[in-house]
Structure 1
Amino acid sequence: MRSVLALIVVATLICLAGPAAAQPVGQFPFALTREGQMLGGVEGEVAFFKGLAYATPPVGPLRWRPPEATVESSEMRTAYEYAAPCLQPSLPSAREDCLTLNVFRPFGVDGPLPVMMFIHDGAFVGGTANDPQFDGARLAQAGLIVVTVNYRLGVLGWLSHPALSEGGSGNYGLMDQVAALRWVHDNIAAFGGDPGNVTLFGNGAGATSIALLMLCGEARDLFQKAILQSLAGRVRLRSRQEAEAFGLQFVATLGQDGTDPRGSAPARLLAAERKLLAKSPHGFAPAIDGGLVTEDIAAGFAAGHESRIPLIIGANDDETGFDSEPGIAEALASSGATPEQLRKLYPDLATPSDLAAQVYTDKVFSEPVRLLARLHVATGAPTFRYRFAYVPEARRANPEGGHGRELQFIFGAEGVPGAGILSRRDREVASRMRGYWINFAKGGDPNGPDLPHWDAAADRDRLLLIANDRIASGDDPFAERLDRLADESRK
């Protein structure tokens, strides 16, 4: 930590300098926001500002309420360290006071720069923007502002209950994301960013959130491009009645006296959440509330209700992960195909477990992604579809669990928890994939010099295949089996 004397000197210089857009003062980058003067840090060529509050802490009477704007201030605050992650069973350090974001930008580079805002996965009950895998430095080095966001999770993010209806019951996590977008719109220029060139990107639950934000009127003008990674696009959202019934079940599990759960301690909430998630793994998630969320994603895209913005959308060749077991069983049961028919569709898969994993990947991710790409193309918006089938060389002997694998290649993280060391070939693929994302964020087209051409998903089902042996555009080689799954989904 810097000395008190150094901070006093820097504060004096900041006041003399006046308002600025992420101006460096000595070795201390700072930005003037409505919440005060933010003093960041520098590592290499990248400045960072961590733990910035984008809303008032949702604690006490603000629990299960829409996020409220922070108080204006002229104070100077340091932003060297991540704030606490949002409350969740798996992280002891998590807290309710968690509505924060992190900003990464190239140090000493003038703006306005394109902005990429990342929304993390975690099945709506876990995860954090503070994960070292999501360090935005590698992306920022290319001349971008990168923002990573924490939002309310689990019971605190998605509880619907009759006693909470005066604040817009449920979908608090999505409200948080809208509030973070508004904060970026209002403040990112202070960091050298362009509020008129914002790209949302995320995978899994993050991609579901972004698709809902594309359908949300409150968020429509707050971002201009989107990247949907591993989106379960045909998922059926719960109705308000179903969500409130689940909320009543939670209160019963909580053992709360009366009907209002707002007085319970966080530890008690988490204990009840664990019990309920063991029975209903996807119980805490977005629901149709008639305001922020009015329809399922596929229905909204089919009706052309989404923002007609440039879109990258895709899935991984293997989408299994730590929480995919219930989904695998459900996908097999609802596939509508006999074991013999499945073996014909997947002749190269020898074991039942491999077959089950591929049916799950195709039914939950690959086919719905193709559907949404087709529907978005029909609006006239530029659309680029991909399939990520690359496996890091060190993992090819045991490649299971591919959900989220693309994130290491986009962020370039190595040697941190959850991210191994990449080989030379891995880094080449990562550099190209990161290049596509960067180009898209800058101008709405992923193509650029030294990158294999990525055909837009226009009349035909074109996609970019990122495989172990090549990166190339072409027609979908698995169209036949996806057609079969699409036919079953329409029944």
Structure 2
Amino acid sequence: MKTVTVRTKLGVVRGIESKNYKDGIFYSFYGIPYAKPPLGKLRFKAPQPPIPWKHEFDATFEKDCCIAPNLYTGEIEGGEDCLHLNIYTRNVSINDSESIQLKPVIVFIHPGAFTTGNTKTEFYGPDFLMTQDIVLVLISYRLGILGWSRLDDSSLGIPGNQGLRDVIMGLKWVNENIEFFCGDPNNVTIFGDSAGAVIAHNVVLLAQCKNLVHKIIIHSGSALCHWGIGRRDSLKEAAKHLGCTSRVDKDILEFLQNQPIEKLIQGQLQAKVGIAASLPRYFYPVIEEPNNIEEPLITEDPRKVISEGKSLKIPMLIGYNSDEGLFFDYQLKNRLKKDKNNSILPDFETLVPHPLGFKRGSPESILIAEKTKQFYFNGKSPTIENRKQFYRLYLDNFFGYVIQDTARRHFKNTNQPIYFFKFAFDGNLNMYKKIQGSDLPGASHSDDLCYLFKMSKNPPIEKNSVEEKVMTQMIKLWTNFAKSGNPNFFQNDDQFLEWKPIEKNKLHYLHINDDFTVGVDPDKEAFDFWDSIYNMSPISKL
């Protein structure tokens, strides 16, 4: 086992030699702390700067993830001491006199609905991305009750969004130390998928992160998603389930800080609402009060932040998958078990996005429900025969429209290029669809990640297969974007294809399937429908 040491500003770390899927050598550093362990009185609090270590830190093996259910097994795993990051690099700085060209850095924020997921190689193996000359970083952040809780009492310093604060602390560590791993601190691309995309996008909406990130890649999510903002009473609800009788924030905090972590997870799992556009969820990001003792982060609607030009002006690569709605296949199956009438969507008001502010039963909510039923099902109650349109509706409602809207809004308020994509490839590596319990054709939610990261449950990639072709071309495009802000590249002296950034009234996009093609305005009819919904005026004012 060949190892290598690197001296950071906090101490020496030892990593291990690894090989990519083509047997190229790179170095892996696992579980380097970027903050103090958030234990005891630091539970629920903002992350604190890390403590330097005197002895060599062993980064040759993977560390505990942040406590959460495992995506494969559903079993609770991990712990609270989890604020660390993994680094993968082809080169390291052996001594100060050595001159090595610094490489572009990609910082990945994992998905998992803010309540699950981790940075382990069983899900996010670097074997594909490390065929390119980049530095890859994966940040572990707190999840669920530990990462997305708040209390009203501003003196307690629990404004919410601890997970976002964790990521920013990790980015600060990267800014100060990545040069020792031959990464360029002035060329950092933040990359997130789903919930990770919401976090990454929120980072870019913060002026204080200006020098931490220089480009952004977001898949299947943004801060504008209706599921990107949650309930404000999550922690109190969990405390109530665990037997806390006090309604005083200070008492609730003391009660929960003294509970074993297993009890907290139990309380988290008991506080839940269904997955519906009309319902904000427990333990998700929240809008913060500005008067907290902690520096506020999310304080207003992200649409307002973008329209007022407050977000970072950086290149963006953004898109979604063609069959995101397959993610809800399990929900459809559960509904069919309960409904003897074979109805797959009995209540269309659940599809009214809660950020619109229209109360259930209001004229506006009823009208949106009726319009949605008419648009997708010609006004009829859908049954299993309408399954395809059900998935289409959930694609548009949860992902497609808002992600296009995000790109269009940023275009109006930046002079930087924005590249849009739609991933439609359905190959042997589409593991997320299998995890989600669907055996239907199509590219489901997060299936695109399987062509950027190696997943342990996937078969080895076959040489010269269509899967390898798709993976190789995606890797090249994505890492080219990280290098220069332009994904386009030449292949055998010819340009691979011309992927144009979006223009006024032209949402150019890359369509990723067996072949890569380009087009304009994907899913336009659905976009126009939801755009009319999001811009609908209250009926009482008409």
TM range (shorter): 0.7 to 0.9
Q: Which residue of 2 aligns with 1:298?
A: 303
TM-score calculated relative to the size of structure 1: 0.86
Q: Which residue of 2 aligns with 1:40?
A: 15
1:358 aligned to 392, 395, 398, which one? 392
Mean Cα displacement is larger for which, 183-192 or 360-369?
360-369
| Equivalent pair of 2:91/2:181 in contact (CA under 8 Å) | no
Q: Which residue of 1 aligns with 2:89?
A: 105
Q: Which residue of 2 aligns with 1:23?
A: none
Structure 2 CA distance for aligned equivalents of residues 400 and 457 of structure 1: 25
Structure 1 CA distance for aligned equivalents of residues 385 and 460 of structure 2: 30
2:123 corresponds to 1:123: no
Shift of 1:469: 4.4
Structure 1 CA distance for aligned equivalents of residues 403 and 447 of structure 2: 17
Tell me: CA distance 1:428–1:279, structure 2 relative to 1, closer, same or farther (3 Å).
Answer: closer
- AA matched with 1:276: A
1:422-437 equivalences under 5 Å are 422=461, 424-437=465-478
Structure 2 CA distance for aligned equivalents of residues 358 and 238 of structure 1: 20
- AA matched with 2:351: A
2:507 aligned to 456, 462, 485, which one? 462
Shift of 1:383: 0.5
Tell me: CA distance 1:238–1:428, structure 2 relative to 1, closer, same or farther (3 Å).
Answer: closer
Q: Which residue of 2 aligns with 1:15?
A: none
- Give SS of 1:222's match: coil
2:408 aligned to 355, 360, 374, which one? 374
- Give SS of 2:76's match: coil
Structure 2 CA distance for aligned equivalents of residues 84 and 321 of structure 1: 31
| Equivalent pair of 1:136/1:147 in contact (CA under 8 Å) | no
| Equivalent pair of 1:101/1:148 in contact (CA under 8 Å) | yes
2:260 aligned to 262, 265, 285, which one? 265
1:133 aligned to 109, 123, 126, which one? 123
| Equivalent pair of 1:104/1:137 in contact (CA under 8 Å) | no
| Equivalent pair of 1:233/1:365 in contact (CA under 8 Å) | no
2:33 corresponds to 1:53: yes
Tell me: CA distance 1:217–1:39, structure 2 relative to 1, closer, same or farther (3 Å).
Answer: same
| Equivalent pair of 2:164/2:199 in contact (CA under 8 Å) | yes
2:225 corresponds to 1:250: no
Shift of 1:320: 3.2
| Equivalent pair of 2:420/2:510 in contact (CA under 8 Å) | no
Q: Which residue of 2 aligns with 1:16?
A: none
Tell me: CA distance 1:474–1:84, structure 2 relative to 1, closer, same or farther (3 Å).
Answer: same
- Give SS of 2:116's match: coil
| Equivalent pair of 1:214/1:307 in contact (CA under 8 Å) | yes
Count residues with an aligned counterpart.
Answer: 458
Shift of 1:88: 1.7
1:26-425 equivalences under 5 Å are 27-44=2-19, 45-89=25-69, 90-107=74-91, 110-162=100-152, 165-236=155-226, 243=232, 245-256=233-244, 258=246, 259-260=252-253, 261-277=256-272, 282-289=281-288, 290=290, 291-320=296-325, 330-331=350-351, 334=368, 336-337=370-371, 339-343=373-377, 351-378=385-412, 379-392=414-427, 398-399=440-441, 402-411=444-453, 413=454, 416-417=456-457, 419-422=458-461, 424-425=465-466
- AA matched with 1:317: S
Structure 2 CA distance for aligned equivalents of residues 239 and 369 of structure 1: 15
Mean Cα displacement is larger for which, 204-213 or 468-477?
468-477
Mean Cα displacement is larger for which, 246-255 or 325-334?
325-334
- AA matched with 2:302: I
| Equivalent pair of 2:225/2:399 in contact (CA under 8 Å) | no
TM-score calculated relative to the size of structure 2: 0.78
Structure 2 CA distance for aligned equivalents of residues 217 and 166 of structure 1: 25
Structure 2 CA distance for aligned equivalents of residues 460 and 361 of structure 1: 23
Shift of 1:188: 0.4
- Give SS of 1:369's match: helix
Q: Structure 2: where are the runs of 5+ without partners?
A: 20-24, 94-99, 247-251, 291-295, 333-344, 353-364, 434-438, 537-542
Structure 1 CA distance for aligned equivalents of residues 313 and 429 of structure 2: 40
| Equivalent pair of 2:115/2:283 in contact (CA under 8 Å) | yes
Point out 4+ residue stretches in structure 1 off by more than 6 angstroms. 237-240, 323-329, 394-397
Tell me: CA distance 1:427–1:174, structure 2 relative to 1, closer, same or farther (3 Å).
Answer: same
- AA matched with 1:133: F
Q: Which residue of 2 aligns with 1:471?
A: 516
- Give SS of 1:30's match: strand
Mean Cα displacement is larger for which, 118-127 or 223-232?
223-232
Shift of 1:353: 1.9
Structure 1 CA distance for aligned equivalents of residues 303 and 221 of structure 2: 11
Q: Deviations over 1:266-325 (max 9, x none)?
A: 011011111113667821111011311112333322332211100001011111365686
Structure 2 CA distance for aligned equivalents of residues 236 and 250 of structure 1: 23
Structure 2 CA distance for aligned equivalents of residues 103 and 385 of structure 1: 28
- Give SS of 2:318's match: strand
Q: Which residue of 2 aligns with 1:14?
A: none
Structure 1 CA distance for aligned equivalents of residues 8 and 85 of structure 2: 13
Shift of 1:326: 6.9
| Equivalent pair of 1:460/1:475 in contact (CA under 8 Å) | no
Structure 2 CA distance for aligned equivalents of residues 324 and 59 of structure 1: 38
- Give SS of 1:447's match: coil
- AA matched with 1:173: G
- Give SS of 1:337's match: helix
Structure 2 CA distance for aligned equivalents of residues 453 and 433 of structure 1: 14
Structure 1 CA distance for aligned equivalents of residues 260 and 417 of structure 2: 48
Shift of 1:234: 3.3
Q: RMSD between aligned alpha carbons?
A: 2.8
| Equivalent pair of 1:233/1:368 in contact (CA under 8 Å) | no
Mean Cα displacement is larger for which, 212-221 or 163-172?
163-172
| Equivalent pair of 1:86/1:152 in contact (CA under 8 Å) | yes
2:533 corresponds to 1:488: yes
| Equivalent pair of 1:106/1:141 in contact (CA under 8 Å) | no
Identity level (%): 27
Structure 2 CA distance for aligned equivalents of residues 101 and 121 of structure 1: 15
| Equivalent pair of 1:213/1:220 in contact (CA under 8 Å) | no
Shift of 1:467: 4.1
Shift of 1:169: 2.3
